[in-house]
Amino acid sequence: MTRPLSVALAGLGTVGGGVLDMLQKNADIVAARAGRPIAITAVSARDRNRDRGLSLDGLRWFDDPVALAHDPAIDVIVEVIGGSDGPARRLVEAALAAGKPVVTANKALLAVHGAELAALSEKHNVTLAFEAAVAGGIPVIKALREGLAGNRISRVAGILNGTCNYILTVMRERGREFADVLADAQKLGYAEADPAFDIDGIDAAHKLAILAALAFGRPVAFDAVHVEGIRHISAVDIAFATELGYRIKLLGIARQTEAGIAARVHPCMVPQASPIARVDGVFNAVVAEGDFVGRVMLEGRGAGAGPTASAVVADLIDIARGRATPVWGAGSGALSSVPSVGMEAHLGAYYLRLMVVDRPGVIADVTAALRDEGVSMGSMLQRGRSPGEAVPVVIVTHETRESAMRRAIARITELETVLETPAMIRIEAA
Amino acid sequence: MTRPLSVALAGLGTVGGGVLDMLQKNADIVAARAGRPIAITAVSARDRNRDRGLSLDGLRWFDDPVALAHDPAIDVIVEVIGGSDGPARRLVEAALAAGKPVVTANKALLAVHGAELAALSEKHNVTLAFEAAVAGGIPVIKALREGLAGNRISRVAGILNGTCNYILTVMRERGREFADVLADAQKLGYAEADPAFDIDGIDAAHKLAILAALAFGRPVAFDAVHVEGIRHISAVDIAFATELGYRIKLLGIARQTEAGIAARVHPCMVPQASPIARVDGVFNAVVAEGDFVGRVMLEGRGAGAGPTASAVVADLIDIARGRATPVWGAGSGALSSVPSVGMEAHLGAYYLRLMVVDRPGVIADVTAALRDEGVSMGSMLQRGRSPGEAVPVVIVTHETRESAMRRAIARITELETVLETPAMIRIEAA
């Protein structure tokens, strides 16, 4: 065997610890698969003296992660600092410019600065690998970029945020409200102290932007992703979803339409019988639809030390073996320039729940607003009668243009007998 | 762009036609992903004059596929002839010896002669790729060999034969018997005129042998796979399975045990709630369990022109990009020599259905036989009473050693009041 691949690890949080652990525990397997041993030889983190429960014996310490990029004894950089800017970005840029391959788990960095990083990677002919950035240990980057590479992909969709999926699963199983379940998830470590990034859909949108770029062979376009989170999902809507034969999931969906690529992250009602509806708890899943392969689904743990380390180590093995792929699947000159299309052009069915005063004429006003905006109703559900009091009314539309739906909702919201902002959830065939 | 990768296609059946079609229809995508165009330039098949509905204009015709291996204008060979011996084997051996990369969809060839072929591939430092050999378009070879490569895999299991899964699905949905559904499947083209290879589990065993070699990093060992098919599954057992909360699936399962690798293909009862239980019809699925990644499941179409072509073309793109992996994931010197263990050592729960004469004392005789062989009963089901006539009795055991179970079944079969060979189906946690 040749000499070990010498790896520098920048970031010693959960993921960094997992990578150290895996390379030690599975050193035999890794060396067999990589054709040579892979060893962490240098580390960098913010605080040298913090007790992380990790042995750093024999590893060189760097206070400045960017200095790793210039150390001649280091072959590859693993960046697990996180964040779209700051030291993570500086390190990755410096490493690529210095001709050192980089493995990163940083979805924000890839989603926001992926175009420039791909250019750097191409210019210096050096690998930038990021399997760990999307869906943890599920090899979905490899599947899209290599395994399904010959297909014209029409749609890629997934449950991309385990925190949201966990919260929605517990809300449904226990009939509890969002805020309660979030608080519990924070105590259990399934949600961050500042959960906005997860529950507002930003994290899922970063991952979707990456998947869409790979699926459609075009530069990453995070700003074009429509993003909504799960804060406004209430127990009553989850109960209605069950009654109607649906599950509510936060999905990221990118689709090739006639006008261009539509990419969106928002809560969806998906049929209970669809495979993705059954992916519960902290699990992630990605579905890709190709013209030759048909529908392929990959499912597994989307986060945590072990699954993320699994993806980072797979990337290191690829680098050790000399297996390389352009960042977005094709060289810059061969990427597609298909445009993005906005959410107002979305066409689909909608679930609408209103809280209305239970009195004659209310439904007539609501249905008139829908009719005036050209929204065709599929069905209506009304539960319980309490004359003069607030009752929920659920409407499911036929296929409708988003722009028409928004106008209709604005009109309905103005009705005096409609007591809250209507709850709107898009229905997805999944 | 560099000059096209010149590919010879040996075999013009369903899969060969699919490969031709995909490389033509998606030439733009393939060239972008591969970094250069990929073009079929030569073909070989048994009968030049047969109308296949394919245009072979501009392609060089070879009557002898082995001659493709020696043609200097050919860069890569795609072997989709099939069969573990004969022209397929001769072509692949000749191509590797001549230093030409080979892409094959031939699971029988890999399962039976994979060790010698890997040695040839290693000796001549040339790629032998076979993503299409297992689970069609699902990139499961790539996932196991690259995407999860750093994991110690404890178990790999899958629905590996679409014909069997289709037959079992229709039997359950319609309550029909095996022979009827098989006859219909043959009319619909879901089963071959000679279906033995599929329904007796051989095809699934070929695929499992390949998956086990990759999962456990050891040479392929087809002869060590225990194989049973689905001929003996009857509608009554499927109905009992449903009643007990199970689905019957033909699974291929390879597991690391203390004594070695246990690999087996047989019908299993799996809990209805397990993800693999819901994979119906012609779909395939593979579950891998790794020490860091946890459980990953991949699902999709396991056969047919499109999915198989998708896998072949992905392999061609890897070759065009120079991405190479040793046949069994590691070089011959780094493969594990862990032994295989036989089926008699299997430990699990069992479903047993007897047809017995409904008269006093029968159950006492049966349970005595189980007790004498150390088989512990979990539950017993008896439906209907018809004194003096045949009635089914179902027994579910606690965890039992296969050898004990076989002795108990032999004793039970000898009882005068037991009218048919008992139906035995292993229960798998899935």
pLDDT above 70 (res A30):
yes
Contact B149 A314 (CB under 8 A): yes
Share of chain B above pLDDT 70, in %: 100
Residues, chain A: 430
Return the residue in B301, B310, B312, B317 with the most chain A beta carbons within 10 A, the one to mutate for interface testing. Answer: B310
Share of chain A above pLDDT 70, in %: 100
pLDDT digits (tens, 9 = 90+) for B360-372: 889 999 999 999 9
Q: How far is B399 from chain A (nearest CA, A)?
A: 28
Q: What pLDDT, on a 0 to 100 scale, did the predictor assign at position A382?
A: 86
Whole-number Cα distances in Å, B24 to A217, B61, B303: 18, 18, 20
**What is the spatial distance between Cα B336 and Cα B214, in angstroms, rounded to a whole number?**
11
Q: Where are the alpha helices (DSSP H) in B4-60?
A: 14-25, 27-34
Whole-number Cα distances in Å, A325 to A319, B18, B222: 10, 25, 33
User: Which of A151, A310, A326 minimises the CB distance to B26?
Assistant: A151
pLDDT above 60 (res A1):
no
Q: Shortest CA distance to B105 belongs to which of B40, B14, B29?
A: B14
Q: Shortest CA distance to A329 belongs to which of A388, A288, A284?
A: A288
Q: Sketch out chain A's domains with CATH numbers.
A: 5-133 (3.40.50.720), 140-301+337-343 (3.30.360.10), 346-427 (3.30.70.260)
Q: Residue A177 has which token pair?
A: 């409200």
Q: Residue A323 has which token pair?
A: 């297996």
Contact A293 B313 (CB under 8 A): no
Q: Which residues of A touch B292 (CB under 8 A)?
A: 18, 22, 26, 137, 306-307, 309-310, 313
**What is the spatial distance between Cα A84 and Cα A114, in angstroms, rounded to a whole number?**
10
Q: How far is B129 from chain A (nearest CA, A)?
A: 12
pLDDT digits (tens, 9 = 90+) for A315-363: 999 999 999 999 999 999 999 999 999 999 999 999 999 999 998 889 9
Region B401-419: mean pLDDT is 96
**What is the spatial distance between Cα A273 and Cα B300, in angstroms, rounded to a whole number?**
16
CB-CB neighbours of A133 under 10 Å: 26
Question: Exactly one of A100, A107, A142, A207 is catalytic; which is it?
Answer: A207
- The one-letter amino acid code at A31 reads A
ipTM of predicted assembly, 2 dp: 0.96
Contact B32 A301 (CB under 8 A): no
Q: How far is B410 from chain A (nearest CA, A)?
A: 42
Share of chain A above pLDDT 90, in %: 91
Whole-number Cα distances in Å, A419 to A237, A362, A363, A411, A425: 16, 11, 13, 13, 18
User: Which of A29, A294, A325 minimises the CB distance to B307?
Assistant: A294
Angle at B92 between CA B87 and CA B98, to 5 degrees: 120
User: Which of A26, A32, A295 minimises the CB distance to B300?
Assistant: A295
Q: Global pTM?
A: 0.96
Q: What pLDDT, on a 0 to 100 scale, did the predictor assign at position B1?
A: 52
Q: Which residues contact A398 (CB under 8 A, 6 or more apart)?
A: A349, A376, A377, A378
User: Which of B22, B148, B307 minimises the CB distance to A314?
Assistant: B148
pLDDT digits (tens, 9 = 90+) for A210-238: 999 999 999 999 999 999 999 999 999 99
Q: Could you tell me if residue A406 is left (phi over 0), alpha (psi between -120 and 50 degrees) or otherwise beta? A: alpha
Q: Shortest CA distance to B227 belongs to which of B201, B256, B188, B253?
A: B201
Sheet of strand B76-79: strand arrangement = B60-62, B38-44, B5-10, B76-79, B102-104, B128-129
Q: Which residues of B touch A316 (CB under 8 A)?
A: 150
Q: How far is B302 from chain A (nearest CA, A)?
A: 9
In the annotation, is B249 catalytic? no
Q: Which residue of A has its CA nearest to B38?
A: A150
Contact B301 A292 (CB under 8 A): no
Contact A137 B296 (CB under 8 A): yes
Question: What distance separates the 2 farthest-apart alpha carbons in chain A?
Answer: 83
Average pLDDT, chain B: 95
For residue A421, the SS3 value is coil
Q: What pLDDT, on a 0 to 100 scale, did the predictor assign at position A52?
A: 85
pLDDT digits (tens, 9 = 90+) for A247-284: 999 999 999 999 999 999 999 999 999 999 999 999 99
